[in-house]
Structure 1
Amino acid sequence: MLQIFFNPLIFTSLTPLIGALILYLIPATNLQLCRLFALYISCITFIASLFIWLQFDLSTSFFQFVYTFNWLQHWNLYYTIGVDGISIFFILLTTFLIILCILISWTSVKVLVKEYLICFLILEFCLIQVFSVLDLLFFYIFFESVLIPMFLVVGIWGSRTRKIRAAYQFFLYTLVGSLLMLIGLVFIYFQAGTTDIQLLWQISFSDFRQLILWIAFFSSFAVKIPMIPFHIWLPEAHAEAPTAGSVILAGILLKMGGFGFLRFSLPLFPFASIFFAPLIFSLSLIAVIYASLTTLRQIDLKKIIAYSSVSHMGFVTIGIFSLTLQGIEGSVILMLSHGLVSSALFLCVGILYDRHRTRIIKYYNGLIQVMPIFGSFFLFFSFANLGFPGTSSFIGEFLVLFGTFKISIFVTFIAALGMIFGAAYSIWLFNRIIFGVIKVQYFTLFQDISRREFWILFPLILLILWMGLYPNSFLDTIHFSIVNLMEQL
């Protein structure tokens, strides 16, 4: 029992769930108390997750802070949690972004505030479980449970009339994609007699079964990332979701697919991963080029960032299936970087939408004259999005290209074109919004960012620079877990 109280992973996992239960008892009419309580709970969760990192042993590749609960012992099913060098940063990213989501919604969400905050605390609980459970069955349960609060966030607190359609599209696309994974999970259980990840890593499936099971898992992870042509739900969901919903969607939910590839597809099905690598490269290169070109012709600010996310996730899958140490490490860094940069861009778009109630790009021009602080922030995040040296995205993209170069110069060259297109749409977007003549026929009242919005965006700049200028503080933690993964291939 003492292990439960002194295990920082268990404390981090349970805090948002307990917070959601207590928040349910607070009167919905007391909006300020509801907001403050949710903020305090999210801050406590983030601080607890920092203790996981501080106590993490860098010299081993084994899972740490492991705790096992005998759920159905007769069926050999156990609830087990633990973290390694890969999952720890996704937990940190989750707990950090939830704080920003609550802060950015402080004044913009005015209806069903308590229910909105409960959804985010439950979402945080489910996401932490996704990145920490060491059992395939429980991973699937929480992997799909994330859909429920996210469906409500998009459908209830979305910004436009198409929000119901977008919510159902998001829910059904991602749920249907996971049905094959469920069938594969049942097949693995009946063959191996367990769903424990650490035990499954020791089991060798036949080549044919690996191919079938890999496709089953791919159908779920490819929709979550999302890879082309499974990306249809993403732009619509982003366009209709509230700002905080877009932050979580781009910052965390898209990473679950990449994390699934690293946690399951590569170690469980090494033969199939090598066999299907050319397919992944083809789809990823199409995503990098097609999504970049599609980004250039969008007129909705959120859809511009959404399609750029598809392009960046193409880089991630190229790095993962390069099956090289540098490529996989680069893909992890790029996922973390994208979680920060895309979240920052969506926050900037949310700031504009809160003031002017539109995201159509033609209405904005010359904002540097009336919103200079906002323009400075947007400049930094635009450069981070295109992978400017010194930012976190540059480190991730460089490592991905370095690792991919070892196996295919052609794939590296085509992928590198994505960096050129990324510079094109990032600089063009910045230029159209920030410079030029103010269109006073549309807007006459302007307000630069508030103190609250400043302290939401400023920490993101520090983290992006930290990861870009001193990446070893992250790579040292990731390294041994990636080496352990490589040994299973």
Structure 2
Amino acid sequence: MLKFIFFVSFLIPLCFLSNYWLLVVLLFLGSFLYLVFGISLSFVSYLGYYLGSDVLSYGLILLSFWICGLMLLSSGSIYFTSNYIMLFLFMNVVLLLFLILSFSTSSLFMFYLFFESSLIPTFFMILGWGYQPERVQAGVYLLFYTLFASLPLLLSIFNVYFSINTLNMFLYFGTFSSGFGIYVYLSLILAFLVKLPMFIFHLWLPKAHVEAPIAGSMILAGVLLKLGGYGLLRVFSLIYFLGVSFNFIFIGLSLFGGVLVSLVCLRQVDLKSLIAYSSVAHMGIVLGGLMTMTHWGMSGSYTLMIAHGLCSSGMFCLANISYERLSSRSLMINKGLINLMPSMSLWWFLLCSSNMAAPPTLNLLGEISLFNSVISWGWYSILGISLLSFFSAGYTLYLYSYTQHGKIFSLLYSCNSGFLREYLLLFLHWLPLNLYILSVAVLFDWI
């Protein structure tokens, strides 16, 4: 594990050479190296004082490498127009380093430290390269939501250490959880629910997505939302008995919130805001499956987290491609794009169909297993699941039909058919989304 951390660390001096393409190629090289040499992590391995990883870490570290490479590939406009490109590249690499350290640590306290550290580069990316003056408010929302929820988590980590004398996440067992009270249960999961985000704690997400640059939106949707799910998977062994008693509250709230947010999506007129709210709806299904604490629920939520990271990131790229040409994210202006960029319309179709879990995408596998786990937990959840699934298809069709069809509103649209960099970017989102379904054994048998 240490070799990959050193690999990313040595990319930091390269940022100040402002060599954009070399950094992109090296990040993709790192993801391929991790794909090949990290596959041996089928069980807990490389266990040292603080570093240790298993199959949960493997998938999410690989996703972090891949999304960070795609982030730089998508930020061509920043590279060609910004005076602070070296600082932008530095923020990307530092964020990747914090994410790898978060997913590969075996200590609960070190995980907390790097979990919160990933907020700092994200905050600077929103504040420094955001689109509008409201980015200050979005950054403050992100900062205060995270800090408000993270301090109880720190106190409960100390409580865990005093109770069981270890913070090693690989040594926890369900028998420890009988000694903890409701305060530890709530404070251990609150910070992760904010980062996931759960309905009620989700208000920072649409603001941060709308104001962030394309790289910020991609890393938020692609990896940072998955930190919450990963943290829940790690701490559930501590609070297993309390979860059996109290998890029904969060399952009901996540299903109800998912349906409500899906209805909110149908009223959006901002492209990025619609995709951001759809992330909240999908993470509602993930949280519902996680809280059932079944094998199907855990495996399905892990699968959908990886699938959503690729799919949602690709949709933000599509929204940014339209924004760079029309200088607007409004659905009232982004109309009739199939007349001007028919080849780009194909990618809209492929990623929208992935978002509504059409076969053969990884989203379908994740959603089927999550539906199984939630319905087997309680048959009365069928209503929430069916409404959520229906409205998910509804707002995705609304997004696709509204942007691609209709009369062309804006004459400012540059009638080029897109750059090679943009098509490569979209292809590299879509390809793993449809190939990873072949590795079902990795996702379900090892977890």
Q: What TM-score bracket applies, with the shorter chain setting the length?
A: over 0.9
Partners of 1:14 and 1:125 within 8 A in 2: no
How far apart are residue 65 of structure 1 and its match? 2.7
Partners of 2:174 and 2:239 within 8 A in 1: no
Structure 1 residues 53 and 185: CA distance shift in structure 2, 3 A: same
- Please tell me the residue identity of whatever aligns with 1:17: S
Larger mean CA deviation between 454-463 and 372-381 belongs to 454-463
How far apart are residue 203 of structure 1 and its match? 6.1
State the match for 2:21 in structure 1: 36
State the match for 2:83 in structure 1: 111
Inter-partner Cα distance in structure 2 for 1:329 and 1:200: 19
Q: How does 1:269-348 map to 2 (within 5 A)?
A: 269-348=239-318
State the match for 2:398 in structure 1: 428
Q: How does 1:411-426 map to 2 (within 5 A)?
A: 411-426=381-396
Partners of 2:332 and 2:409 within 8 A in 1: no
- Please tell me the residue identity of whatever aligns with 1:445: S
Q: How does 1:253-268 map to 2 (within 5 A)?
A: 253-264=224-235, 266-268=236-238
1:63 and 2:44 equivalent?
yes
Inter-partner Cα distance in structure 2 for 1:145 and 1:477: 30
Larger mean CA deviation between 411-420 and 363-372 belongs to 411-420
Inter-partner Cα distance in structure 2 for 1:218 and 1:211: 11
Instruction: Choose which of 428, 433, 441 in structure 2 pairs with 1:476.
Output: 441
State the match for 1:465 in structure 2: 434
Inter-partner Cα distance in structure 2 for 1:83 and 1:415: 33
Structure 1 residues 480 and 210: CA distance shift in structure 2, 3 A: farther
Inter-partner Cα distance in structure 1 for 2:258 and 2:413: 39
Long gaps (5+) in structure 2: none
- Please tell me the residue identity of whatever aligns with 2:432: L
Inter-partner Cα distance in structure 1 for 2:94 and 2:216: 13
Instruction: Choose which of 192, 201, 204 in structure 2 pairs with 1:233.
Output: 204
Structure 1 residues 284 and 437: CA distance shift in structure 2, 3 A: same
**TM-score relative to the length of structure 2:** 0.96
State the match for 2:424 in structure 1: 455
Inter-partner Cα distance in structure 1 for 2:320 and 2:289: 31
Partners of 1:23 and 1:37 within 8 A in 2: no
State the match for 2:336 in structure 1: 366
Inter-partner Cα distance in structure 1 for 2:321 and 2:260: 29
Q: 1:405-439 deviations in whole A, cap 9, x for unaligned? A: 22211113311211110111000111111011111
Share of identical aligned residues, percent? 31
Q: Secondary structure at the match of 1:161?
A: coil
How far apart are residue 290 of structure 1 and its match? 0.9
RMSD: 1.6
Inter-partner Cα distance in structure 1 for 2:325 and 2:69: 22
Q: Secondary structure at the match of 1:82?
A: coil
How far apart are residue 458 of structure 1 and its match? 0.8
1:20 and 2:12 equivalent?
yes
Structure 1 residues 386 and 103: CA distance shift in structure 2, 3 A: same
Partners of 2:152 and 2:188 within 8 A in 1: yes
Q: Secondary structure at the match of 2:167?
A: coil
How far apart are residue 459 of structure 1 and its match? 2.1
State the match for 1:385 in structure 2: 355
Inter-partner Cα distance in structure 1 for 2:39 and 2:413: 50
Inter-partner Cα distance in structure 1 for 2:307 and 2:408: 32
Long gaps (5+) in structure 1: 1-8, 69-77, 483-489
Q: Secondary structure at the match of 1:206?
A: helix
Partners of 1:238 and 1:246 within 8 A in 2: yes
How far apart are residue 22 of structure 1 and its match? 4.3
State the match for 2:71 in structure 1: 101
Inter-partner Cα distance in structure 1 for 2:21 and 2:274: 33
How far apart are residue 82 of structure 1 and its match? 1.9
**TM-score relative to the length of structure 1:** 0.88
- Please tell me the residue identity of whatever aligns with 2:44: F
How far apart are residue 481 of structure 1 and its match? 4.4
1:165 and 2:137 equivalent?
yes
- Please tell me the residue identity of whatever aligns with 1:113: I
Instruction: Choose which of 373, 384, 400 in structure 2 pairs with 1:403.
Output: 373
Partners of 2:174 and 2:241 within 8 A in 1: no
Q: 1:363-404 deviations in whole A, cap 9, x for unaligned? A: 011111110111000011111111113222111111111122
Point out 4+ residue stretches in structure 1 off by more than 4 angstroms: none
Q: Secondary structure at the match of 1:416?
A: helix
Partners of 1:38 and 1:121 within 8 A in 2: no
Structure 1 residues 205 and 461: CA distance shift in structure 2, 3 A: closer
